[in-house]
Amino acid sequence: MGRGELVVLAALFLVGTVLSINRAKCPKNELWLQCGTCEGHCYDRNPICTKECKPAGCYCPLGKGFVRFGYAGGCIPSSQCPNATDPEPPKCGKNEVHEECGCDKRCDQEEGVECPPVCIEGCYCKKGFVRGSKGKCVRKDQCALQK
């Protein structure tokens, strides 16, 4: 085996190692997505999604019959959702606020990137915070610590 082939093999090994380290073990009924997507919820089983990438992480597989139970709950078959007429108001995480229409700025985004014209209800980072690579809202000056 030549020197060039060894370099290529070593590079492939390193890339595979880094990717496997970054992939968390997802809970039952969830899939790891490098480019996240929107999820269905018990109160909105068929959301309108954009092509915008959300932070990498574990997501309910859209179109497979699973939805998120609440904002922080697990993925359950949509047939197991309670039949409530008024959805429970979402419980947002630390440094998040519920918005009827919004989008997050992310650590890996350049300044001046505008939100898509589609309204999406959900939990978004509070003013002064951005979505970090681990999916949590952090101060902009903490983005370098997320890598």
Asked if 132 and 143 touch (Cβ cutoff 8 Å), the reply is yes
Confidence of residue 88 (pLDDT cuts 50, 70, 90): low
| Single pTM value for the model | 0.43
Neighbours of 31 (CB within 10 A): 16
pLDDT digits (tens, 9 = 90+) for 14-60: 444 444 444 568 888 998 988 887 888 887 887 777 777 888 888 88
pLDDT, averaged across the chain: 75
**Domains of the chain, each with CATH number or no CATH:** 25-86 (2.10.25.10), 92-147 (2.10.25.10)
Asked if 74 and 59 touch (Cβ cutoff 8 Å), the reply is no
**CA 93/CA 88 separation, integer angstroms:** 15
Amino acid at 25: K
